[in-house]
Structure 1
Amino acid sequence: MRELLLELEKAVQQQRPVCYTCLVETRGSTPQKPGAAMLIYSDGSQAGTLGGGCVEAEVKHRALRLIDAESPEIMTFQLDNDYGWDDGLICGGRMKVLVDPVRSEQDLPYYRSMLQLLETDQGCTEAIIIPPESAAAESQPDRFLIDAESNIIAFRGSQQPPAQLFDGLKPIKNRPRPYVSQGIAYLTFHQTCQLVIVGCGHIGQKVAELASDVDFDIIAVDDREEYCNADRFPTAKQLIVGSFDTALTRLSVTPDTFIIIVTRGHNHDEEALGHLAVTDARYIGMIGSKRKVKLIFEDLLRLGTPREALAKVHAPLGFDIGSQTVPEIAMSIVAELIAYRNLDALPEGYQRPSLMDDIKTPHPAG
């Protein structure tokens, strides 16, 4: 989306007529889901996609009729035999598409605000008021940009939001999918969460690969440069090499940080957890058997790590799906990370009591 918004601004600056189109609601089977966006230029070329095929061509055909219009419109497309798909694919669903002619610099402030919100990477929501179908051609679909703190940052159309705007608004931190509530389409843009991988062996490497594909920003930490390098972690935003004692002090941990501890040995795991358990990280997980985890918890309790800090640690790490190979273990870990990120908790069937419940607080020495 960032690249598309930059292309939009470039087109306006070059005085190149353009329509911004966005899929705001779908029902049934459709080639794309809400949030998909595309620019359509007056010469028929495009940037982005709404799913390809004949329906995209029809969106383009109808959008070109509006390219010199003053106001946006929401168009409805029924994906049936009427489109005569060349490849024989008939989805059978319905799409509502916002078509917004962007003609001059005066039309850009809303889109610039959207770009700024996306660049902060805190997540945001675009609320689009869907006019009743009987009045869709006459009513402008008002739009509002809402930040992660539920503040309206910008609007396009009416400045006054409808009373029900915030009734249906879901917290962006819970990463809701785009949805419609009370005639309002909510298009969600999620934050990219930071995942710190402590330990760059085979499991850490495979977790980084999978987690990058599901929008985690990777920070890899290890005391061995031959393991913690760009060749093995090509998607990592940051590589930190050094003894765990010093490397972990260089981390910036926030309430949105996820951390997994997958080092090559018991001592390194304990050292890392001793540093990280007391941070504000949203999630901390550590690999290992139940026996090993209990031993580490007991040692850290004796060393003064607060019980409540250790009780928050997810260990053993990963969903219990009978994993045996490195890819299977990595998948079980990433599945747990996704669940916690999206749901703010683990699904009921995968919840497990903390091993701290079985450990008594040691008596003070002396």
Structure 2
Amino acid sequence: MKEITQIIREYEKSKVKGLKTALATVVKVDGSAYRRPGARMLVTEDGTLTGAISGGCLEGDALRKAQSVIFQQKSMVVTYDTTDEDDQKFGVGLGCNGIIQVLIEPIAYEDSLNPIELLKIAVQDRSMAVLITVFSLLNPRAPQIGTKILYKESKSFGEENFPLSSLLNVIRDEIYQSFENQINKVKDSDDYFIFYECIKAPVHLILVGAGNDTIPLTKMASLLGWQLTLADGRKNQATTERFPSANRIVVSPADELVEKLDFDSDTVVVLMTHNFEYEAIVLKYLVKKDVPYIGILGPKKKSEKLFERLINEGIAFNRSHIYGPLGLDIGAEGPEEIALSALAEIKAVLSNKDPQFLKDKKGPIHEG
């Protein structure tokens, strides 16, 4: 999501400057690669790059091809095959072992539903969207159908009267149910593929606590592109001067706080006030919300006392969603390392992953 917002920002700047642009999108990967389908890079005619389609290996070659696309105003698919041990013949030296297909499309500012305008619609609120991109590998240098349709909240945006459009709806509905990208080869259609991309809202982190030790966590969350709501009962602590990356700051008594907050399926909460009574009251109302992750800073004894308070008050709660003490066991010391530990745990929980060393993982790093 952060990459998309950065691309949109640069697109708007380029539009004002009158610079022509092209969008490079990874649409298919076979084998291993640094980035997965959906990775993007905006290229301007003066050579400015925003986003990335690899770890830095493909960008130089993709820049040259994107500038050709800008000049000819004709889209293409570029294939990078690194399964050959002699991948230096590409001049990129990937060190991977996969085949990466990159669609490069010229961006027409006069088209109000060009690929980036569709991305703008996709991220304008926190509801999920499905973006449809059609490409051919049989004729990769021929003009591509490209990024044409966005589905969002039962509405469609873009051009629906193009070849293969009648095949989209069934799989689109599957994406909404699975929340996973799909790439499907279209039968009997000259080797066309359809990339169904699920664009979800960024993680919404509600951080309850405005002490000095929460500042590193807010900075790291911002670096990840997460949306941040900062909440506390102390108005002299919860300020934009102290927390400039916060999207929203809520100052409230504990018993009124939860009702002032917004929740959805991608919202997580971390309690870091160092005030047991404040957190006990907040937690009482918080457990009534469907929150996939609630993290509590402090020793296990503190969390057990909070649970005991809930039980004594007859409040039912799902303990499996509460992580107290919060964080992965990485030997964290100090606010910065604790923030790293907490954010890593949140990411693992939301991705439904069991944290482990990647060297011990069986099979490829990326699944699917």
- Write out per-residue CA displacement over residues 258-305 of structure 1, whole angstroms, 9 at most, x where no aligned residue: 112222133222111122222343432333444433333333333342
* Match among 319, 324, 331 for residue 316 of structure 1: 324
Name the residue aligned to 1:272: 282
Cα deviation, 1:343-364, whole Å, max 9, x if unaligned, reads 3xx6399xxxxxxxxxxxxxxx
- What is the 5 A alignment of 1:31-70? 34=37, 35-41=39-45, 44-48=46-50, 50=52, 55-67=58-70, 69=72
Tell whether the 8 Å contact from 2:44 to 2:67 is kept in structure 1 after alignment: yes
For residues 314-344 of structure 1, the C-alpha deviation after alignment (integer angstroms, 9 at most, x for no partner) is 142424516452344333322221122223x
| Partners of 1:335 and 1:252 in 2: CA distance | 23
CA positional deviation for 1:98: 1.4
> Quick check: 2:303–2:325 contact (8 Å CA) kept in 1?
no
The match for 2:203 is 193
Q: Aligned to 1:135, what secondary structure does the other structure show?
A: coil
Q: Which residue of 1 aligns with 2:132?
A: 127
CA separation of 1:151 and 1:289: change in aligned 2, threshold 3 A: same
| Stretch deviating more after TM superposition (221-230 or 152-161) | 152-161
Q: Say whether residues 1:137 and 2:149 are aligned partners.
A: no
Aligned to 1:81: 88
Moved more, 103-112 or 32-41: 103-112
Name the SS for the 2:230 alignment partner.
Answer: strand
Structure 1 counterpart of 2:121, one-letter code: Q
For residue 199 of structure 1, what is the amino acid of its counterpart? G
> Aligned partners of 2:152 and 2:109: how far apart in 1?
29
Count of paired positions: 337
* Cα distance change of structure 1 residues 168 and 98 upon mapping to structure 2, 3 Å threshold: farther
1:331 maps to 340
Contact 1:21 1:40 in 2 (8 A): no
Which amino acid is the alignment partner of residue 115 of structure 1?
Answer: K
Take 1:329 and 1:268, find their aligned partners in 2: how far apart are those partners?
Answer: 21
For the 8 Å contact 1:31–1:91, the answer to whether it is kept is no
> What is the DSSP-based 3-state SS (H/G/I as helix, E as strand, rest coil) of the residue aligned with 2:120?
helix
Query: Does the aligned pair in 2 maintain the 1:277–1:313 contact within 8 Å?
Result: no
Letter matched to residue 119 of structure 1: Q
Q: Which amino acid letter does the alignment assign opposite residue 251 of structure 2? A: V
RMSD (Å) for aligned C-alpha atoms: 3.9
SS at match of 1:21: strand
Q: Which runs of 5+ in 2 are unaligned?
A: 186-192, 357-368
Using structure 2 for the length normalisation, give the TM-score: 0.72
Judging changes above 3 Å, is the alpha-carbon distance between structure 1 residues 319 and 78 closer, same or farther for their aligned structure 2 residues? same
Structure exhibiting the larger radius of gyration computed from Cα positions: 1
Counterpart of 2:366?
Answer: none
Distance 1:10 1:159 in 2: 34
With normalisation by structure 1, the TM-score equals 0.72
- Contact 1:76–1:95 (CA under 8 A) maintained in structure 2: yes
Distance 1:331 1:74, change over 3 A: same
- Report the CA distance between 1:100 and its aligned residue: 1.9
